Amino acid sequence: MNNESHQHSIRAISPVDPSAVRVLRSLDPIARAMDCAYFVAGATARDLILVNVHGLRPGRATLDIDLGIAVENWEQFAILRERLIGTGEFVADRRALQRLTYQTAGFSVPVDLIPFRGVTSADGMVAWPPGRDIVMNVAGFEEALGSSVLIEVEEGLTVRVASIPGLTLLKLTAWADRGRESNKDAPDIYRLLTAYADAGNIDRLYDQELDLLEAVNFDMELAGAELLGRDVAGIGSSQVMDRVRSLVTSGPDHERLVSHMAQATYSEAALGVDRIVAAFCRGLLSVK
């Protein structure tokens, strides 16, 4: 699936959250049998990469597991959902059509299945049948799948996980959607920006991006944020990147994003946060 045989997997260096492992062990064979490419998104992906692969500190805690599911049509998605429920381990949530609850001895975990690809409209939205009154923004999901990394979360279980650039793209899109009502995405974006150098990129900065490192006086957080901006620009389609560039270059949006990050991080002054965001924007705008 998705040329996995041509991509090397990364092994987690610390034990992965048992609830995530159980959910993925149950879902993976069903998705593969149906040829549904999927990737782990959200906070689970963030912690898999930052904590389990690179040994960094965890970010904001979350209770649910988000999965992007590439389907050709709604029928395929419905069949996948029915087969998961048929295992007896997943229970439907009547209030949220995308949500199942994984329930087994000692575990109860909300699992959001977010469909995209064949059910996505030209403007990057999915509208749930039959009434199409529930609408979700899935802009960036194709890019997140295409740039995902293979992680061996446990022996014999290797899954696709959104990369840090992919996660950043998704988080920026989510923040653009709900940033006026909630700032919950802002601390996640800030965490990704400030951790990128330490997440396997220090040697790359010294070996391949020394000019960038020198330009910021060897400040690893600033260099990592700018490198992440370049990498996000490198994975995005022109349509998605136009939206993201418009977001970060809009004065009011930029100021609100910095304000939300500063509010959420407490220890960081807005000026320090703005330097990180500005570095990310430099990188993002340097790649056309």
Q: Say which DSSP state 58 is in.
A: P
Gap between the Cα atoms of 172 and 228, Å rounded: 13
* Residue ranges of the chain with per-residue pLDDT less than 50: 1-3, 5
Q: Is the pTM of this model over 0.85?
A: yes
Specify the pLDDT at position 134: 83
Pairing of strands 65-71, 107-117: parallel
Q: What is the reported pLDDT for 267? A: 56
Distance between CA 253 and CA 249 in Å, rounded? 8
DSSP secondary structure code for residue 50 in this structure: I
Half-sphere exposure for 211 (CA within 13 Å, toward CB) = 1
Closest CA to 153 of 26, 62, 30, 5: 26
Long-range contacts at 181-187 (CB < 8 A, ≥ 24 apart)? 183/260, 183/263, 183/264, 184/60, 186/257, 186/260, 186/261, 186/263, 186/264, 187/59, 187/60, 187/261, 187/264, 187/265
Q: What is the CA radius of gyration of the chain?
A: 19
Q: Which residues have CB under 8 Å from 260's CB, separation 6+? A: 175, 179, 183, 186
Predicted local confidence at residue 1, as pLDDT: 42
The pLDDT value given to residue 210 = 97
pLDDT of residue 57: 87
